[in-house]
Amino acid sequence: MASRKEILQVAGREVAISNPDKIFFPKAGHTKLDLVQYYLAVADGALRGAGGRPMAMKRFVDGAEGEFFFQKRAPASKPDWIETVELSFPSGRTASEVVLRDAAQLAWVVNLGCIDLNPHPVRAEDVDHPDELRVDLDPVPGVPWSQIREVALLVRSVLEERGLRGFPKTSGSRGMHINV
């Protein structure tokens, strides 16, 4: 038996949501469709931060409490309205990564299980020149929040010495990004 799909009209496009009733947040009972609808409600803000940038897709296919994996390359089965850009890595490898520009594209990646967005600090139009600085405090398991806070305060001091200001935000399940 085929799983149920829901078709949403978003930004003039049809976006298929597979398994819309799949529970993504068990404690709250929120489904994949709930997550997509949330992202559509906050699309302007989400796109201000992630729009126009290639992104690695962090996919939680079994919901927020399941295992996740990073997918750099855009799926071959992507719709033709999903934009990609080729990135080159120091290893010599390349990846064609997704670039979000509108709410339909955002809904599409959320349907793939992307609970959080992970854009690169470069614009799709100029992937060789970062235009953002992010200090990523990504602790290994067992590092207490107090230590992350201590390092964040040290980063703040270093930035201030250079006339820069950082804006901290929590990231993932236990880390912090400091956007400069």
User: Which of the residue ranges 71-75, 79-83, 148-152, 170-174 would you say has the lowest mean pLDDT?
Assistant: 170-174
Cα–Cα distance for residue pair 180/172, rounded to 1 Å: 19
Residue 2 is predicted with a pLDDT of 60
Q: In the numeric block, which tokens belong to residue 17?
A: 């949501």
Q: In the numeric block, which tokens belong to residue 72?
A: 């750099």
Is residue 25 pLDDT above 80, yes or no?
Answer: yes
| Confidence tier at 85 by pLDDT (50, 70, 90) | very high
Beta bridge partners of 54: 99
Enumerate the CATH 3.90.920.10 domain ranges in the chain, comma separated: 5-119
How wide is the angle at C-alpha 147 spanned by C-alphas 158 and 156, nearest 5°?
20
Cα–Cα distance for residue pair 55/2, rounded to 1 Å: 30
Strand ranges inside 40-80, DSSP E: 54-59, 69-71
Q: In the numeric block, which tokens belong to residue 79?
A: 């719709």
Is residue 1 pLDDT above 90, yes or no?
Answer: no
Residue 70 is predicted with a pLDDT of 95
Determine the average pLDDT of the residues in 140-159.
92
Q: What are the φ/ψ torsions at residue 47 (nearest 5 degrees)?
A: -75, -25
Residue 174 is predicted with a pLDDT of 77
Q: CATH number of the domain at 5-119, please? A: 3.90.920.10
| Confidence tier at 56 by pLDDT (50, 70, 90) | very high
